[in-house]
Structure 1
Amino acid sequence: MNVWEARWLRAFHMLFYACLALGLVLSFGEDAGPGPVSLGLLALLAGWHWFFVLRRPHLLGRLHPMAFHLAVLCALYVALVLTDRSFDVVIFGLMPQPYLMLSTPWSYAGAVATILCTFAARGYLDDPDALWRLAGSCGLVVAIGLFVAYVLRQSAQNKTVGVLEERARLAREIHDTLAQGLSGIITQLEAAEQAMPDEQGRPDLPAVRRRIALAKELARDNLQEARRSVDALRPGPLQEAHLDAALAQVAERWSRTSEVSATVTVEGTSRPLTAEVGATLLRAAQEGLSNAAKHARADRVAITLTYMDDEVTLDVFDDGTGFDPGAQGSGYGLAAMRERARGVGGTLTVESAPGEGTALCLRIPSN
């Protein structure tokens, strides 16, 4: 039972006892006041609910013994109203109890039984139109129960969708931080390994030290990104820099580690962006650079950030080997980028062909 369910349960229990108290107040307003029988039935009704329902939340929803306890509460309510009509208001606290105490479909049967008890206590069963009034009241109570059940199902479905969306978000964060960072570390260590001496050669120690230093730098940055992802914070470069500067920082670091030229151009008038839009644009640039390093074998990468009146666009172009965008198994990165783009109302297009380089274009409308 989550927090909200516990709060609703507590609220309905409080409603039941509030109706008991209201009936007692109304009874004292009469000339004779409540008699000893009424007070005894009232105490028994309150005590039964407290001991067998309120104190046993783990049994709620079970047909046995909650059906028996509901029957006892209804019988005590009928006896109490027959003794003193001032306690007729208790029905407003008793009506939700079948839906709390019993599971579907027994809760509907319990609600109908409660309506029957109300008609019996008020003496309506002998009226000529009792059947129609009973059918209407039962239909209304069942309709309310069906609506509540529908709302609960929708809430459960929304919760499931939220869990799946959060899993997808975490998958994108892992891909955009851990996977890319580890890939860069592996690339640097492989380069350092190639600079190690063979059986006849001499080692290129400066190159080894430089590659190891870059691998350590990538590891530190990746660790910081992982911590930020866990804390659901903005991407690291955006923490202390504007998007334009963050893109330049990412491109400069990527150029040092990959030894491939990467340039950043900003067109239009720069303006503040929301955290989610900024993160989406930055992640798209990182993914484009990562793909260029791993697959494209490019000599140059150009990143262009364009501010327009109605949208912001990010273009990432490399002069590498290219690929077929329609081919199967193009990797998780493009799928993650499209999911991010849809999350902020944007679109991602990929133009590429074998031997002709790759161009990624992310368009996000301005709010």
Structure 2
Amino acid sequence: MLYVIIAAVTALALLDPDRLHGEPLILLGLVLGLLGWHLWFLSLHPQWPEQRLGPMAVYFAGLLGLSALLSTMHPAFLLLTAGAYPMAFVALPGRWAYVGVLLTGATLTGLLGGLPPEAATIGQTAGTSLVAGGIGWAIRRLESEAELRRQATEDLAGALVDLRTAAEEQDRLRTRMLDRERESAVTAERARMAGELHDTLAQGLAGITTQLEIAEELLGEEHPARRRIGSALGLARSSLVEARRSVNGLRPGPLAQAPLVEAVQAVLDEWQVRTGGAARLRITGEHEPADPAVERALLRATQESLANIERHAAATEVTVTLSYLGDLVAVDVVDDGVGFALDDLGSPSESGGHGLQAMRDRVEAVQGSLAVESRPGEGTMINATIPLRPGSATNGAGA
């Protein structure tokens, strides 16, 4: 705004040479100096006004002095001197603005009334200064109220954000608590079912197997019923193995007492004690907590793989690698056993072969995938890869 006033009064002065005191070039030089003064202190340093008393006091003194000097060269510049009233509130901080108003009024009094000034002139400039000070006070009061409202609005917005964050955190905690309660209920139900199967089906099959073994021993080699009893005994033994596998699969197992890594290590240690083979566990990637159903599926895949190695592979060394891959977690079980041809891998039957299919079903139930790689004489690698947190519907199915 001050640039417009300077340009207007300069044009008026140059167009009115009769009232111009001094050379036009000197006037233009003072105007350019005033423009540079204003440009440096205000336009190029916008952080100084109303904040830095020292620079702004120098600016205001220079503005008032140059304006008064120009006013002595042409009366049009009295308008520029009067413009120091609002500039006092623009530049000077706090109550120093009112000092600027008084200095502006005193300067105008001297320019208009001479020395000593007339009483009428003093009264006019005093009234003008009073009005300018009142307007400046009102504007600053409004600005202060606006700043308070803005700060209150920001505080309210911050409080709303905090409340929203707290509500989201509460929802997460509630969801986690419900998941744990559901997991506890599922674990308890699985344990109950395992106990029922063990006490009824598995115990019954064990009794049938014992009776068939006794009957087989009592019959002679050539007895016509011996072959039938042998077939029934084989079927009972196979069914007992599957029943015990189901019982073991339903029980909480190592994950009920330890995290996944420790549970897998415990399973490996048990396998090493039973078989005498070498076993090691490798962890890659940055550990991320997984859904309980995912950890259960990975542990069961590891247990089933080790059981198959123990029964069929004749392996002397096993390596289990647990890998955290961002949103995925994978387990790889590699052995140095006899291996097999994938084309010879048949479907499950009454005589066995359910382990791999059960492992695949369990992994796929939590949106995972199972891969098997093997060649005769080159060992076997089983990989199970599962999302850390599959969908809720899938979780329920996997549980």
TM-score bucket (shorter structure): 0.3 to 0.5
**Normalization by structure 1: what TM-score?**
0.37
